Structure formats: C-alpha cells, structure tokens
Structure 1
Amino acid sequence: MSGLAYLGEYGSDSEDSVSDLEETRRNKFPVPDLSHIPVVPSDTHEDNPKLHGGRKRSFPHVRGNWPSYVYVNYPQNDILINLINKLKSIASSQGSFWVICEDLHISLSKTVILLYHWISSFNTSIQKSLSTIESFELGFSGVKVLCNEDSTRTFIVLEVDCFSQKQLHLITKEIDKVLSEFNLPLFYDKPSFHMSVLWVNGNKKKEIVKFIDKFNDLLVSELNKDLKTVLVDKISCKIGNKYFQYNLL
C-alpha cells in the first residue's frame, strides 16, 4: 500500500484513533538526546601542525580559495642528494632536527590565493606570457641561511648563479604582469632566487650561519665533481591540488 493510501486511511479514522496512533509513535520512537554531540560546520577545517612536522599554514583553509604559486621544478639526482645529506650532517651537529625539503624548486612567485573561477584564465595568461621565453641552463653559486617572513622556520638554501638570476628575473616580470591583472601580490622587488634544501622549525639563523663557510666549501667541492647545470625548458605552477607546466622556447 502506498504512503498516500496510508494517509487516506489515517484521515478516515476517528480523532480518538489518531490520538492513539500518535501516542504509539511517541512511545516507539523517543527523541534522542544530542546535547553531548558538538556541532561543527561542514566546511570547517582545523589545521594540525603535528601532521606536517610542526609547519603552520601561511593561509587559513577556506573552501573556494586555491593557494597557488609558480616555480621551477628541480630534478633530484644522487649527486644532489649526497650534497644535501652532507649539509644536513653539519647543520645537525648543533642538535636541531633538520628536515630535507620534499619538493626541490625555485619559487618564481609568492603563494597567492586564486578563486576557482579564475583558474582557467590565470593558467591561460601565464602560458601566453611565457611563450616567448627561451630555455636556459640553471646552476648554483653559493649556500645561504634564510628565515621565512614570520621567522617560524629556518632554511638552508642553494643560491642560483648570476646567469640564472638574470633569466629568472625575466620570467618573474612576465608572471608579475599576470598577477597584477588579478590584483594579486607581486614577487619581491629584489628577489634572491634560490632552492631550499633543508628546513628546521624556529629561527635558527644565528646558530647555523657560523657554518656558512663549510657549506660553501662543500658546494664548491661538489660543483667541481658532478653537480652540473640543468636545462630549464619548463615552468611549473601549482594551484591547489592541480599542476600545470608551460614550455619555454
């Protein structure tokens, strides 16, 4: 029998029958007590730094906002990993817990926030702006110790050489043009192009900078061996969980 038929039958019963039925329902299906259950909005996201080695988000998680940045992806190889492990051994002699950076790259923009409906046009604009840039060889010239803007993390980085700096400046100028179209923050006025290879929580710059000569001697030694330049013929962009690549000439 359909639900409508049941409703029709209920409507034809006497008021006493209806009252009896409602009383039976109340006894059979008591209202549960939900007072002890916390109410959390479905779009609430709680960041837990313990899940990310103590790192904190630069931006709060907001649905519809896509953290995005443009960069040069650097290929890992045994020579580079060997150098990073040696740098880590020296830095860790002070007792700090240094971590090898997971994704080795050179940033070409700050991390900015895109709205979802901007992604397609932003991607197209970046691709067009880089279409006339020539490929180049990228190398490193020194080691530096840097802190992020809020001094919550310290990094050991490899600074790119002079020729690479010039090429990357050309690229960031083109990227900045696109960012300005979307009223997004531009890159730094005087950027220092580098690749972070190690990081540690907190501001450890004073205690690590004393090893800078050892770090640079180690880099020179590796450069004289097999740590050669790499060809940069693609620029990468990460938008939320999406990845894009743009070919250079």
Structure 2
Amino acid sequence: MKRASQTLVTYSSSEDEDQPPVKKKRKLPSLSPSLLLPVPTDNPTLHQGRVRSQPHVEGQWVAHIYVSLIVERRSNLHKLLDVVLGEAKVISPTLHDFWPTGEPSKKHELHISLSRPIYLRTHQREGLKAAVKSLSRQFPPFPVSFATFSELVNDERTRTFLALEVGAGHHELRAMSNALTPTLHAIRQKEFYEDPHFHASIAWALLDRPAPSQSLIADVSPTLTEGTLSPSHAVSVPPERVPEADFPTVTQLPEELVRSLNHRYSSALSSTKTGIFDVEEIAVKIGKEVYTWQLSG
C-alpha cells in the first residue's frame, strides 16, 4: 500500500497582486473654534476678589444643603441688621454685605447651612435630591432664632464672615445635619462639622492670601476669631501673607467689631420682638438650580 503523496500548494505572484491595497486612514477635520466650549477660568476680578475653593472639574457639580429664612424689609430684624451693617462697615470698611442692592422690592434671605460644599458627579445629583426629599419627611417645622454675632472663617481661609449664630433651633438643625451624614459618606463627601456653629452670614471680607512658597499646616488659633466654621480643622497658616493687588484684604476682622456688636445689639437680636422664624422647608442648591421640600415629619 502506497502512501498518498503530500502536495505543497503555492500561490503565484499574480494572486498577491490581486489583494486590495491597505487604505490609509484620513484625519478628521478639526472643529471650528466657534463649536468649542470655553474652559471655565477662575477670575477673581469678576467676583470681588473671591476665588474658587476647588478648581473647576468637567462633569462636577457643587451642591449645598440649607434652610432659608425670609427677612421682610419692614421687620424688626431687617431694621436691626441695617443698623448693624452700617456700624460694622465703619469699623471694617472692607466688609461686603449680602443684601441685594438696587432691588428695593426683593426680599432678603438668610441661609443656615446643613452641609459643607458638596462635590457631585452628574449621575449623583438625583440621588442627593432624593435623600434631601426623604429627610424633609422625617422632620416637622420648628422655630429658630438668633442669639449672638460672631466671626467665622471658611475652611480654605480665603474669607472671613460676620455672622448671626443660632440660639433656639440649634438642636433640630443638628439632628437634620446628622441625618445627612450617611448620604454624604455614601458619595465620599465630608459630613458637617463635629461641633457646628449654625449661623447665617450677613457680611464677608477677603483674607490675606498665603505666599505661594509657604505651606505650613497648623490648627486654627482660638484667638483668631470668635468661632470658626471648623475649630479643629487643619488649614494653611503661612508666616507671610501676600496682599491682593486689586482688592483690599484683612488678617481678620477688628477685634472690637464683634465685641462691640454683641455688647450693643445681642439683646435686641435675641429678643422675641426681633424675630423667631419657622423653618418650614429644606433646600438643596446644585449648580445654579435650587430644589425645596416642605418639612412634614
């Protein structure tokens, strides 16, 4: 029995020539500059010298949870704050108040924060709104009033604030803030402060900016302010500071400012005649949009 012979198959050069040539990929034309979205830039000159606490990140939204109090123009609190802010600006001319100017019909609104600034990805927005809506169903409306004036400094130590600290209502506000903690942890955000100073800011001033070459970490000095937003929070406190070229800055508000305001006006501020407000809703601001829900617990 003979073995079958193995045949070697070969291809002619003509068959090679029949293969289609490989086409080179053509580059897409570049987009017209008019179609390109501008990259947001931090320009303090457009915002009275204020700077971002966090750099802009595409697809990231800044959110803030708070309760608001409407101050009617004819109310005793409005009249008191007009006097207080007038005197405060005499003692510290660098102060900017939060009252809207040039709009006599507009109501003034005070915000009491229940969270630090929250940084969300786009897909997390609906989840945060749902959590705040759920929170509104757990708490009934409650009264709030103010007790004293204080100076508070933000975490980044870029601004200092003249604030009204909450008296009545502190317990309820803290319970609401604590109830938000699991939600904030779930999206890897910080909870509110361990020893919170619930307050409404009425004016602010720019703080001296640290020199770029300096980066020392230290605790906030207890003598720096009447109270800080984060008493135990570590912040950059360089030995040298660089003043702003275009906007006046301060190391801190004058020591006599808060002391004088409390001495002269704290009794009027805490008086029942000045104002006890009913907190009836909770709000969350995401970007420029504000969403509110009535308290109904």
Shorter-chain-normalised TM-score: which range? 0.7 to 0.9
The aligned counterpart of 2:283 is 236
Work out which of the residue numbers 101, 110, 115 in structure 2 matches 1:104. 110
Q: Which moved more, 1:208-217 or 1:185-194?
A: 208-217
Contact 2:160 2:252 in 1 (8 A): no
Contact 1:68 1:239 in 2 (8 A): yes
SS at match of 1:74: strand
The aligned counterpart of 1:185 is 190
Q: Is 2:146 the partner of 1:140?
A: yes
Query: Any idea what the Cα deviations from partners look like across 1:128-157, whole Å, max 9, x if unmatched?
Result: 133111210010011101222232211110
Cα separation, 2, equivalents of 1:157 and 1:92: 14
Contact 1:98 1:199 in 2 (8 A): yes
Amino acid corresponding to residue 193 of structure 2 in structure 1: Y
Work out which of the residue numbers 231, 237, 256 in structure 2 matches 1:210. 256
The aligned counterpart of 1:171 is 176
Alpha-carbon distance, 1:101 to partner? 1.7
Cα separation, 2, equivalents of 1:98 and 1:222: 20
Amino acid corresponding to residue 101 of structure 1 in structure 2: F
Query: Any idea what the Cα deviations from partners look like across 1:140-198, whole Å, max 9, x if unmatched?
Result: 0111012222322111100000x311000110011112111222111111111011001
Provide the identity percentage: 26
Alpha-carbon distance, 1:241 to partner? 1.6
Higher helix proportion (structure 1 or 2): 1
Alpha-carbon distance, 1:208 to partner? 2.3
Q: Call closer, same or farther: CA 1:207–1:67 in 2, change over 3 Å.
A: closer
Work out which of the residue numbers 53, 63, 70 in structure 2 matches 1:68. 63
Q: TM-score, normalised by structure 1?
A: 0.77
The aligned counterpart of 1:31 is none
User: RMSD in angstroms over aligned alpha carbons?
Assistant: 2.3
Alpha-carbon distance, 1:43 to partner? 4.7
* Matching of residues 38-77 of structure 1 within 5 Å: 42-77=37-72
Q: Call closer, same or farther: CA 1:215–1:95 in 2, change over 3 Å.
A: closer
Cα separation, 2, equivalents of 1:211 and 1:241: 33
The aligned counterpart of 1:150 is 156
Which runs of 5 or more structure 1 residues have no equivalent in the other structure? 1-37
Cα separation, 1, equivalents of 2:189 and 2:156: 20
SS at match of 1:168: helix
Cα separation, 2, equivalents of 1:112 and 1:237: 10
Alpha-carbon distance, 1:92 to partner? 2.0
Q: TM-score, normalised by structure 2?
A: 0.65
Corresponding residue pairs, total: 211
SS at match of 2:70: coil
SS at match of 2:169: helix
Q: Call closer, same or farther: CA 1:206–1:199 in 2, change over 3 Å.
A: closer
